[in-house]
Amino acid sequence: MVKMLMTPRGLRKVLLWLIPIAATVALVTWGIGLYYALFASPADYQQGDSVRIMYIHVPAAYIALMAYSGLAVFSLIFLIWKFPIAQICAESIAPIGAVFTVICLATGSLWGKPIWGTWWVWDARLTSVLILLFLYLGYIALLDAFPNRQQGQKSAAIVALIGALNLPIIKFSVEWWNTLHQPASLLRMEGTALAPEILTPLLWMLAAYTALFVTLCALRVDTALGQK
């Protein structure tokens, strides 16, 4: 199986099997997740219906971080072992991760206005996520910034690895510094702090976002391989 994934022809066979499954899972989980988020979950006693933005915002943030982790891993593989497929995967992930980061920032602003009374504050969490967006855009820009594309790919991969240092800052910023964001309530050592009626739609939306991300990445990788 590993050898199959290391060849363009073998990887395309896997992708042709994966794409319809991931797309179906995305469609089903999106439907269920939106039902729970819009109709089956209660309004918050303090935030009211604005809390429902969480079901878009939190999964987008999760995918933005997960995508950059994948970008860094594939960039590392490309730099060390020079696998062209790793570079194709990294280049396929970058724009998708950037879009999810934009969704995270936009929905965070929409959520922050009624709760904090402002669209934006320069606290550690928001600033580090904004830096994440710039890292995605910087990676994409560097790919074609040199006459020699291989030099651009190498430079972009190095930036991706350096930018990975920002991931723990995003994750732990609410614990290291005084920010407006609340501490983690889903992924905690002592278990989730969310009530079941909130946790259920959030998990469905996390599954939906993950399946959508896999589908989009698989489509981009398959398209890139088909052009080789």
Q: Is residue 162 part of a domain?
A: yes
Instruction: Report residue 196's pLDDT band, with 50, 70 and 90 as the boundaries.
Output: confident
Task: Specify the long-range contacts of residues 216-220, CB closer than 8 Å, at least 24 apart.
Answer: 216/96, 217/89, 217/92, 217/93, 217/96, 218/15, 218/18, 218/19, 218/22, 219/19, 220/92, 220/95, 220/96
CA dist 86 to 75, 104, 166, 196, Å?
7, 26, 22, 39
Q: Is residue 112 part of a domain?
A: yes
Q: Is residue 154 part of a domain?
A: yes
pLDDT at 192: 61
pLDDT in tens, 113-167: 888 888 888 888 899 999 999 999 999 999 999 989 999 999 999 999 999 999 9
pLDDT in tens, 13-46: 999 999 999 999 999 999 999 999 999 888 877 7
Instruction: Report residue 228's pLDDT band, with 50, 70 and 90 as the boundaries.
Output: low
- pTM for the predicted model, two decimal places: 0.93
pLDDT in tens, 48-77: 888 899 999 999 999 999 999 999 999 999
The count of structural domains within the chain is 1
Q: State what percent of residues in the chain have pLDDT above 70.
A: 90
Instruction: Report residue 173's pLDDT band, with 50, 70 and 90 as the boundaries.
Output: confident
What range defines the domain where residue 190 resides? 53-223
What does DSSP assign to residue 44? B
Q: Is residue 22 part of a domain?
A: no
Q: Is residue 5 part of a domain?
A: no
Q: Is residue 2 part of a domain?
A: no
Q: Is residue 200 part of a domain?
A: yes
Q: Is residue 87 part of a domain?
A: yes
